Chains A and B, each alone.
Chain A
Amino acid sequence: MSAIEITDLTRRYGDFVAVDRFNLRVQTGECVGILGPNGAGKTTVVEILEGYRHRDAGEVSVLGIDPATPTRSWRQRIGIVLQDANDLDDVTVREAVTQFSRYYENPRPIGEAIALVGLSEKADERAGNLSGGQRRRLDVALGVVGRPELLFLDEPTTGFDPEARHIFWGLIERLKSEGVTIVLTTHYLEEADALADRVIVIARGQKVADTTPAELGSRSQDTVVVRWHDDEQVQERRTSTPTEVVKELTARFDGEIPGLEIVRTTLEEAYLELLEEGDS
């Protein structure tokens, strides 16, 4: 059964097409990472799924409900981790989690929700005194206190230091193991790689790849970059048949090829390449 089905989703802001005929199907229990640069349309897609934003065209079903007309019982089943909330400064972690748990029919015990995000020691600290990373973990606690079947995380680790990011990843792994379906947006490739079963790459509102992190990686294994000097300039060619390119260059230069380099592309470059393909 699919938790999310999106067909030809389109959203415009004035003349700007933020999301352009976007399609996606997310299976129950899957963790899908939506990856793309800033302004690619990630947040627009996710906020349409969360029932915050309206759409201009296309069909969307989230847990069997059209999010354009959300119901309260549907909200019971969904958890949302907001991207840049800075409310709750004057209340403690425990007070905030306790209050939000009241809105759900079958909430987690307060202590469990706080422990899940590793804030037990900060439970009586006011949110305004937490570090950025702790603050976002409180957001996650509020997102999961109602035991959602489906959890949305919008750029959850933006601004984290590497250590905070790894703690956060451990938390997502735990939720995955509980069978929660997770949709997360990120502009960190390594984050999608670490967490997602499937990676959707989005650029300029369009899906440019729907793949597993492994495939995205192997895509990088297939491609290499051949570089050489020609007329004092660095020339570069991406290819899956480097030997052919070298043969051709050998013929052209009649002997040693100036500045020859053959480089395997990284995961990062495979991703950038996908974005360039999306642009053209």
Chain B
Amino acid sequence: MTRLFSLYLSRAKWEIRLLLRNKRAVMFSMLLPIFLLVIFGSVFNNRELGGGVTFAQYFVAGLLASGLLYSSFQQLAIAIPEERSNGTLKRIVGSPMPRSVYFAGKFAASSFIYFFQVVALLGIGHFSYGITLPTSPELWLDFAWISVLGLIVSSLLGIAFSTFAKDGQSASALAAPLVLFFQFTSGVYFVYANLPRWMQDVATIFPLKWMAQAMRGVFLPRSFARVEVAHSFELPKAALILGVWTVIGALLCRFTFRWLPKDQD
């Protein structure tokens, strides 16, 4: 047991080291939301969205939710096909390393990216764009479970998604536009309530809308709730829907994950 734990630990360090040495991962999974905050924040900083909320305040909630997708869904959807095509996974299958160690390492690296983004987004947001941070412990607790559940669900979906691409390049061609699509339809760049009805209907099926809405529940004043479509941030409903997606993600991983390229079994 302690041996397994030390394997988890060493693999986690290994994955984080690989991550930090990978320019693609650092740029597109780690730093992208921070660039977005600086660009959009600088342009739209003082625009009022109603209910005493600035664009930057609204946008940070959406970027934190997006960070959950960048750090785990997008990162894994690209990194795993890359590692399937370059022999990493084949080497692991041929070694006595328990396979759970691989996923634990990946989850640790995604959590690391997300943690970095949280600190950077809230820090830059607070000091450069006047974003107010929640003061009540209850809100920080909400933030914690949204983050953990969000990381789990988007990791599982990223792992499941990794089956579709044959290498890293085709994976990023598939995953990156998908993330962008969900950001636009889930109210990251625009106020969700102002989006066309069909966009809302599409987004409401998928996790990002619920992550973003739950994050708004943490970072926007209660008064903003009346701007939401349901006149509430619906945190319990968000938890339920993310829970359902966790089960769907886990089942997809269980039944579709491939260690070796398609033609190598």
Contacts and interface: CB of A to CB of B under 8 A. Distances in A.
B264 A52 contact: yes
Contacts of B6: 102
B21 A90 contact: yes
Given A87-B88, A90-B18, A91-B18, A80 B94 contact: yes
Give the interface residue-count category, chain B.
20 to 34
A50 B7 contact: no
Contact of B97 (A52, A54, A73, A103): A103
A44 B44 CA distance: 60
A75 B95 contact: yes
Contact of A86 (B17, B87, B95, B97): B87
Contact of A75 (B18, B83, B94): B94
B138 to A, nearest CB: 42
B126 interface: no
Nearest to A99: B14
Nearest to B10: A102
B96 A75 contact: yes
Given A52-B260, A90-B21, A91-B18, A72 B88 contact: no
B165 to A, nearest CB: 17
B22 interface: yes
Q: Which of B86, B87, B96 is packed against the most chain A CB atoms within 10 Å?
A: B96
Contacts of A86: 86-87
A91 B21 contact: yes
A91 B88 CA distance: 13
Q: Which of A51, A53, A87, A95 is packed against the most chain B CB atoms within 10 Å?
A: A87
Interface residues of A, number: 28
Interface in B1-51: 6-7, 10-11, 14, 17-18, 21-22
Contacts of A95: 17
B87 A85 contact: yes
Interface in B132-148: none
Nearest to A86: B86
A103 B83 CA distance: 19
B254 interface: no
A142 B95 CA distance: 10
Contact of A51 (B7, B14, B17, B94): B94
A103 B94 contact: no
B98 interface: yes
Contacts of B95: 75, 80, 100, 103, 146
B96 A87 contact: no
Contacts of B258: none
Given A87-B86, A91-B18, A102-B7, A52 B96 contact: no
A53 B96 CA distance: 17
A230 interface: no
A95 B242 CA distance: 38
Contacts of A87: 83, 86-88, 91
A76 interface: yes
Contact of B87 (A72, A82, A100): A82
A142 B91 contact: yes
B166 interface: no
Contacts of A84: 87
A72 B101 CA distance: 13
Contact of B86 (A54, A85, A91, A102): A85
A219 to B, nearest CB: 35
A108 to B, nearest CB: 15
A66 interface: no
B98 to A, nearest CB: 7
29 contacts: A51-B93, A52-B94, A52-B264, A72-B96, A72-B98, A73-B96, A75-B94, A75-B95, A78-B94, A80-B91, A80-B94, A80-B95, A82-B87, A82-B90, A82-B91, A82-B94, A85-B86, A85-B88, A85-B90, A87-B83, A87-B86, A91-B17, A99-B11, A102-B7, A102-B10, A103-B95, A103-B96, A103-B97, A142-B91
Interface of B: 6-7, 10-11, 14, 17-18, 21-22, 83, 86-88, 90-91, 93-98, 260, 264-265
Given A85-B88, A90-B18, 8 more contacts: A78-B94, A82-B87, A82-B90, A85-B90, A88-B88, A91-B21, A103-B97, A146-B95
